[in-house]
Amino acid sequence: MSELHVLTGAPGAGKTAILDAVGPAVRRVREPARAVLAEQRSAGDVGTPDRDPSLFVDLLLRRSIADHRAAERAGVLALFDRGVPDCVAYARMLDVDARAAKAAEAFRYHPEVLVAAPWEAIYAVDDERTMSFAGTARFHAAIVDAYERAGYALLPVPRDSVGRRAAFVRDAMGVGDGGS
């Protein structure tokens, strides 16, 4: 069974906070979209959803595949903040063609994917997250659909404190306390 796990779901649902709290026993792989957006904006390039959505999805897919390959080569327990199937959802939401569906078949993760649902009480916008909460809910539905179509079982992360959510994730991964 794969040691590559995914935590996915709605933007602003607390995935990064959970990832930070999981602990040192797990290699954490950051969300590629934030990095791609920051790089494109700082360089004045066009690979953003508002300027060139097709390029953005392509850059996101390339980064997601590179992250998957690096974690696979490392051979360690890893938790991804989004996986390759998320690129399918991005392509769908941005109405662009992408090779993401084919990549989602080739680059596999643990068969159970952890999913954080939209949670309006903790949702906030920032420089990279500009989507309305309603848009977040639509994106979440596209994410769920992408993972289900890719054949993953979805395991909902309960709404709770960050510490309890991180403990739930560690337990689902078979890690236990994880040192946090």
What is the pLDDT, as a whole number, of residue 128?
Answer: 65
pLDDT tops 70 at residue 1: no
Residue 34 pLDDT class (50, 70, 90 cuts): confident
Tell me the CA distances in angstroms from 144 to 75, 114, 148, one per residue in order.
27, 11, 6
Q: What CATH number should be reported for the domain whose range is 4-173?
A: 3.40.50.300
- Most confident stretch, 33-37, 73-77, 134-138, 149-153: 149-153
Percent with pLDDT over 90 in the chain: 81
Strand partners, 116: 9
pLDDT tops 80 at residue 178: no
The predicted-structure confidence for 109-127, as pLDDT tens digits, reads as follows 999 999 999 998 988 887 6
178/14 Cα distance (integer angstroms): 19
What is the pLDDT, as a whole number, of residue 109?
Answer: 98
